[in-house]
Copies of this chain bind each other. A is one copy, B any other.
Amino acid sequence: MTEQPLRVDRTELRRLLDGRWAQVREQARDVLRGDDFAPVAGLPMQEHRELTLKRLHALADTGMQTYGFPESVGGRGDVGGSVVAFEMLVCDMSLMVKMGVQWGLFGGAIHALGNEQHHREYLPAVMSVDLPGCFAMTETGHGSDVQNLRTTATYDPKTEELVVHTPDESARKDYIGNAARDGRLAVVFAQLHSAGIDHGVHALLVPIRDSTGAPMPGVRIEDCGHKGGINGVDNGRLWFDQVRVPRTNLLNRYGDVGPDGAYSSPIESKNRRFFTMLGTLIRGRVSVAGGAGSAAKAALTIALRYADTRRQFTRPGSEEGTEQEVRLLDYLAHQRKLLPALARTYALHFAQEETVTRLHELSSGEGDERAQRELESRVAGLKAMATWHATKTIQTCREACGGAGYMSDNRITQLKADSDIFTTFEGDNTVLLQQLAKALLTNFQDSFADLDQLGLVRFMTGRMFENVIERTAALPLIDRLVTAAPGMGEDANLYNRGWQLELLEDREKHVVEGLAARLRRARKDGSDAFEVFNHAQDHVLRASRVHMERVVLESFVMGIDRCGDQATTKLLNRLCDLYVMSVVEEDRAWFLEHERLSASRAKRVIAAVNELCRGLRPHAVQLVDAFGLRDEWLAAPIALGDEHARQGDPVPAGDRG
C-alpha cells in the first residue's frame, strides 16, 4: 500500500460506472443545466412548490420522463432507463421526488395496472404534466400494512359506478405527493367490494380537483404542511365521501368488475393477486435506492474535494519553522470517516446497476415467478441498505465539513434533509428487511409470498432448513474465486477475494440457518407465534443485512471484472478490499464469537482498514469525480475551488463534472 499512486484511466472508470444506461446519464448531463435545474435552498414552501412544478414542466420538455412509458403512447419503453433518469436528478431532490410521484408512481401505476385504453387516454397527458396526479396508497393508519388498508370502492350496478369512501380517520390517505396543490387525478388504492364480496386491494382512478383546481365534490383535501425536506413537493391528505366514478376507472389488469358486478381476474388467489399487483410497482423502490445513491455520491464528492484542499492545523515539523501543510484528508480519522463510505457507495452502485438490469429484463417478460420474487426481495434489501447508507454517509459528510458543511450553499444539509425520508417511504426499511428475511427462509418460493409472521413461524416449525447461497448473476466468476480460495484458515491473505467471498457466504449461511433453527425450535414448546418471531426480530434483521452485504460484494466483484484498464482495475480492487474489510471490521464481534476470525486476525482487519485508507487517499478525488456529477449540480462553493481560492492556490481548470 505504500506503492506509488496508480495511473487511473478516467475515461474507462467513467464508462464503467455509467454502465448499461450511459446514454441516459449523458443525456441528463446534457439537458440538466442552467437556472431550471440549479440547486435552490431556503425558499419559502409555497414558492418552492411553485418552482418545483415549473421545473417539472421544464423537465418534461427535455424528454427525460419518456423512458418509462410504452412506445404506444410516445414513450421509449425503457424501464431501466427510467430508473437511471430518476437518480440523475440529484441537482434538485424535490424535483426528483416530484418526478417520481408524477411519472413513476402515478403514471407507473396506470401503466402497470391499467389497460390499453387507460394508457391511450391518460399517459400522454401524464407525460406532459397536463394531467398532474397522485398515487394514493398510504393511509394514516396503514403505512406499511397495505393489504389491510380501509378505503373502500363499492360497485353499484345500478349506475355502473364505483363508490369510493373513507370509512374513518385511519383510512384517510396520508403523505400523498401532489395532493396538497397540483394533483387533478389520483390512483386510489381501495378494498374493492362488489355484490357483497371483498375482492381485496385494487387501484382506480379518481378525479380529485376540477380544471380550476377546486376539490371535486365529496373529496376533502388537507395540506400536510412543512416537512423535514423536499418541501418542493406538495404532500397532502385525502378523504372521500361516497365519491362516484365510472366502472371503467378501475385499473383492471389484474381484476375487473363486469357491468353486472361480476368479478373476474387472471389470478385466482386473492393474496397472490395482491402481491402480483404490488410487485409491478417495485420500480419506485429501485428508484429510491438509486436516488439515495446519488445523494450519497454528491455529498461525498463535496466532502472529499473539500477535505483534499482544506487545511486546519499545520503539521509540526521536527524543528521550529519546518511546519508542513496538512490537508484534512491526510488525517487517518478523516479518511476513516469518508473512505469506507466511498467504498460502500461504489459497491452499492454496482449492486444498483445489476438490480436495474434485472428489473429491466423481467419487465420485458424474461424470467419466471421465482425470478420475480427474487427481484422483489433483492429490491427490498437494496433499498434498505442504500437509503440507510445514504443517511449515514451524508451525515458524516456534514460533520467532516464542519461549519462550512452546515451552510445551505454547500448543499450537504439539504441533501441530508431531502433524502432522509427515503429510509421510511416506498417501504419502511425495517419492514423491508423482514420481507427479505422471509424470502430467505422460504427460499424465494413464490407460493409462500403471502405468509405473515404466524404463517412463517408455522412454516418453519419442524422443518429442516438448509440455506442455499443463491449467487448473483455472477455465478461463474464468483464460483471460480471461491473455489480458488485458500480456505478459511488463519493464513489466507486478507485481500484474497475468494477468501473474502467465502467469509461473507459462510456468515450468511450460518446466520440464516441459525434463524431457521431458532424459529423451528421455539415453536416446539408451544410458544405464541408472535412472541417467537418478535424475540428473534434482531436476528431476522441481521439475516437480511448479512445477505445483502454478501450480494453487494458479488456485484462489486462483477463490476470490477468489466473494467478494461489494468491500473483502474487495481484501484477498484483496493476499494473493494476496503469495502470488505470495513464490513468485517464492523461485525468482527460476530466473526470472533463464531470462531471465524481469531483475535489476532480480527486486529489485523482493523489495521487493514487503516492501511487501505492511506493507500486510497491520493485517489479519493478521482474516485468521486468519476461519478460524473456536474459541478453545477453540486453547486457547493467548497467543492468548486472556493477553498483553493481562499488559500491563494490556483483553482483546477475546467468543469470536473
A605 CA to B333 CA in the complex, in Å?
29
Q: Which residues of B contact A407 (CB under 8 A)?
A: 224-228
Q: Does A443 contact B (CB under 8 A)?
A: no
Write the nearest CB–CB distance from A428 to chain B, whole angstroms. 6
8 A Cβ contacts from A395-425 to B: 395, 398-399, 402-403, 405-409, 412-414, 416-417, 420-421, 423-425
- Which of A64-72, A264-272, A354-362, A595-603 is the interface stretch? A595-603
A312 is an interface residue with CB less than 8 A from chain B: yes
Please indicate the chain B residues that have their CB under 8 angstroms from the CB of A588 in the complex: 589, 593
A429 at the interface (CB under 8 A from B): yes
A148: Cβ under 8 A from any B Cβ: yes
Q: Are B535 and A316 in contact (CB under 8 A)?
A: no
Question: Chain B residues near A148 (CB, 8 Å)?
Answer: 313-314
Is A445's beta carbon under 8 Å from chain B? no
Q: Contacting A452 at CB < 8 Å: which of B144, B316, B399, B538?
A: B316
Given known A530-B315, A589-B602, contact A228–B414 (CB-CB < 8 A): yes
Of the residues B226, B315, B403, contact of A138 by C-beta under 8 Å: B403
Q: Is there an interface contact between B408 and A413, defined as CB atoms closer than 8 Å? A: no
A311-B141, A407-B227 given; A402·B414 CB < 8 A: no
Interface contact A538-B424, CB-CB below 8 Å: no
Instruction: Name which residue of chain B comes closest to A43, CB basis.
Output: B44
Which A residues, 412 to 471, have Cβ-Cβ distances below 8 Å to chain B?
412-414, 416-417, 420-421, 423-425, 428-430, 452-455
Interface of A with B (CB < 8 Å)? 41-42, 44-45, 138, 140-145, 148, 169-170, 174-175, 224-229, 231, 311-318, 324, 326, 330-333, 336, 391, 395, 398-399, 402-403, 405-409, 412-414, 416-417, 420-421, 423-425, 428-430, 452-455, 528-530, 534-535, 537-538, 541, 588-589, 592-595, 599, 602-603, 606, 610, 646-647
Q: With A402-B424, A588-B589 given, can you name 18 additional A-B contacts, CB distance below 8 Å?
A: A42-B45, A44-B44, A143-B402, A145-B312, A225-B407, A226-B407, A227-B407, A228-B414, A316-B453, A316-B454, A318-B454, A318-B528, A324-B530, A336-B538, A399-B424, A417-B417, A592-B599, A593-B599
